[in-house]
Structure 1
C-alpha cells in the first residue's frame, strides 16, 4: 500500500488535543481564553481575554458557553483537525 499524497490546505488525521481538556479549560478558565489557547486558536483566545477584561468579568460567560459547546459538539484545533475524544 502506498500513502496518499499530502495535499496542502487539507487537515489530515485527528488532533493530538482532547476535546474534554479543551472543554473543561473553557468552563473553568474560559474568561482567560484558556480552552482556545490550548486548542491552538490564539486569535479567539485573545479575543475572549480582551472581552472579559473590557466587561469587568461579564464576558467570561462566553468562555463557559464555548467550553460547554466544545464538550457537546467537539471542535477543531488550530490546524483544522478534529479534536480527539
Structure 2
C-alpha cells in the first residue's frame, strides 16, 4: 500500500502520513503547494518509492517499527 501511495500520490507526501512519518509528509505537502518545490517533491517521492520497493533503510519499517509487508 505504501508503495502505491508513493507512486500515485507521492508528491503530496501521503505515503509518509500512511507510514507514520508526519513531519516528512507535511514538508512534502508544503513543497508541492509551492510551484518551485513541486519539482523537488516529485523527485523526492520517486526516490522514496524506490526505497520502499527495495525495503531500504528506514523504509523497511513504519514509524512504529513494524516491518512493511
What are the ranges of 5 or more consecutive residues in structure 1 without an aligned counterpart?
Answer: 1-20
> Alignment RMSD, CA only?
1.6
Structure 1 residue ranges, 4+ long, deviating more than 4 angstroms after superposition: none
Work out which of the two has the higher radius of gyration on C-alpha atoms and give 1 or 2. 1
State TM-score, norm by structure 2.
0.76
| Larger relative contact order, structure 1 or 2 (CA cutoff 8 Å, min sep 6) | 1
Shift of residue 80, structure 1, vs aligned partner: 2.1
Indicate the structure with greater helix content. Answer: 2
Aligned residue pair count:
64
TM-score by length of 1: 0.64
Structure 2 stretches lacking a partner, 5+ long: none
